[in-house]
């Protein structure tokens, strides 16, 4: 039996509606694409790498130290950044002698989270201790000497975190799940 133009139009409308019902919530609440821009995460991520961001995990749990996250830049929320979580809410982060130290609340001991490998030619500057609030994170780029991060613009509020780097899709030779992960 031949379909009339109305039946064909109705099929197209149903297809578009079903697609929108599935795609839009997926894109808004579960995952979205992200293209790395800049050198702040070298050697983990390079310029123009294509990532899929997991937006769902942080509805179910808190971000963890060492995770690579995508977030809205606090000084311009229209711009997105990619960095690694170094300090968690309530912790104190100190930078001295090319090392990043993190002290947990109530503890007198500091843990070294990162040592600058190239401290002869590109040392990182010492910084006063930063104590994070209950919903704040301290983030840094893996390329510490070339990164605009919490050392310069302060702690990252939790509500600006979009998600974590979940899949690297490009370049094809580096495709993988949890790229740069812990």
Any bridge partners for residue 102, and if so which? Answer: 93, 111
Q: Is the residue at 54 inside a domain?
A: yes
Residues 95-124: pLDDT tens digits? 888 888 898 887 777 777 666 555 555 677
Amino acid 125: pLDDT: 78
Domain residues for the domain of 84 are 5-171
Amino acid 92: pLDDT: 94
Q: Is the residue at 180 inside a domain?
A: no
Confidence of residue 73 (pLDDT cuts 50, 70, 90): very high
Q: Evaluate if pTM is beyond 0.75.
A: yes
Query: Do the beta carbons of residue 150 and residue 91 sit within 8 Å?
Result: no
Structure tokens at 46: 């390079």
Pick the catalytic residue from 40, 62, 78, 107. 40
First to last CA, the chain: 59
Q: Is the residue at 55 inside a domain?
A: yes
Judge whether 83 counts as a catalytic residue: yes
Pick the catalytic residue from 3, 75, 83, 104. 83
Q: Is the residue at 178 inside a domain?
A: no
Confidence of residue 2 (pLDDT cuts 50, 70, 90): low
Structural domain total, the chain: 1
CATH of the domain at 13: 2.10.109.10
Amino acid 29: pLDDT: 63
Q: Is the residue at 182 inside a domain?
A: no
Q: Scanning the structure block, which residue is given the tokens 């919490």?
A: 150
Query: Do the beta carbons of residue 143 and residue 46 sit within 8 Å?
Result: no
Amino acid 5: pLDDT: 79
Amino acid 121: pLDDT: 57
**What is the mean predicted confidence (pLDDT) over 68-86?**
95
Q: Is the residue at 179 inside a domain?
A: no
Percentage, residues of the chain above pLDDT 90:
45
Judge whether 148 counts as a catalytic residue: no
């Amino acid at each position: 039996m031949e379909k009339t133009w109305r039946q064909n139009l109705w099929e197209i409308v149903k297809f578009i509606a079903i697609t929108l019902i599935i795609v839009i919530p997926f894109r808004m609440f579960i995952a979205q694409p992200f293209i790395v821009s800049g050198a702040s995460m070298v050697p983990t991520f390079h310029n123009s790498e294509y990532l899929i961001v997991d937006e769902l995990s942080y509805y179910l749990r808190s971000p963890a130290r060492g995770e690579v996250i995508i977030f809205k830049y606090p000084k311009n929320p229209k711009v997105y950044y990619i960095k690694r979580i170094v300090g968690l809410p309530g912790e104190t982060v100190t930078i001295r002698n090319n090392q990043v130290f993190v002290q947990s609340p109530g503890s007198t001991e500091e843990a070294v989270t990162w040592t600058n490998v190239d401290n002869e030619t590109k040392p990182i500057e010492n910084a006063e201790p930063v104590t994070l609030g209950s919903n704040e994170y301290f983030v840094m780029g893996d390329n510490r000497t070339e990164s605009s991060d919490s050392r310069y613009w302060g702690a990252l509020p939790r509500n600006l975190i979009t998600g974590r780097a979940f899949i690297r899709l490009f370049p094809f030779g580096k495709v993988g799940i949890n790229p740069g992960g812990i």
